[in-house]
Structures are given as C-alpha cells and as structure tokens.
Amino acid sequence: MRALHLIVLLAACGDDAAPLFPESYASTYTEVRNCRSSSDHELNRVRVLADPAALAPYMARTQPFPVGSIVLKAEYDFGDTSCAGAPVAWTVMKKLATPEDLGWVWQKVDAKRGVESENDPQCIQCHSDCGVAPLGYDGTCTVP
C-alpha cells in the first residue's frame, strides 16, 4: 500500500504535476451538483461534476467509486450566481485503490491549470468530517 502511494506521489511530483482532470472535461463530465454558494470557500460559487466512472456512485451513494474515478468541483466568482463564466479554480478528487488519505488523491488547481497543492492534510481533515452519512458519502461532501 505504501509503495503504491509513493508511486502516485512521485508521478505527481515529476516536472510539473498535471491536473487530474482533462482540460476538455466539460465534454465528458456530468454535472452532479448544480451551481450554489460554497460552504467551504465562502465567497465562491461552486458546481460539482463527475467523470463517467464516478457518475453513478456519486448520484446513488450506494455503490463504491471505481479506482481512478474523478470528482471535480469548479469554483466561480462569488458574483457569478449561475456559474456561467470561466471557473476561477478547481478542486479535484481521484479514487485510490487504498484507504490512505480517505481513499482519494486531492488536488487544488488554479485558473491556469497549475497544481497548487496535492494531498493537503486540510482537505483530508475536513472531508473526513463532512464526507460521511447522512450529509456526505465516501469522503464527498456536497449535499444533494
């Protein structure tokens, strides 16, 4: 388990860590939580998208997330009440094969797709509180 985790970290720490989600995510990811005020980052509006593998588990909250599946939170300016403009930042989770770090890789990505942090303990700390039933599911926190 340790070795696998190290490989994930090493891969991510190479030259420039790449975002876990493709630039063209909008064409394949599905909105799973609509535009709303964030309770995490107070000033931002957010919406949540899932890749095809995460879609059914995120919505149903009964089956496990497949390894490698991705959940993405797009953040918008606080004045962008319909999330119509360009995102100002993203946070993203990618499902691991192991339970370490709540079972996910965690990234914060800026508007230019630069990776600002990976596996920040603050992400894991907060999501271990809000990511459990009845409000959360398997580390995810956005209430339906």
The least CB distance from residue 131 to ligand HEC, in Å, is: 6
Distance CA 71, CA 51 (A): 7
Closest to ligand HEC by CB, 3 vs 33, is: 33
Is residue 139 within 8 A of residue 104, CB to CB? The reply is: yes
What residues line the site for ligand HEC (CB under 6 A)? 38-40, 46, 48, 71-73, 91-93, 106-108, 117, 120, 122-123, 126-127, 130, 140-142
> Of 100, 96, 102, 92, which Cα lies nearest the Cα of 128?
102
Closest to ligand HEC by CB, 85 vs 121, is: 121
Q: 68: which 2 tokens?
A: 């490698």
The least CB distance from residue 101 to ligand HEC, in Å, is: 10
Residue with tokens 């907060």: 126
Closest to ligand HEC by CB, 16 vs 94, is: 94
The least CB distance from residue 144 to ligand HEC, in Å, is: 10
Residue with tokens 């009845």: 134
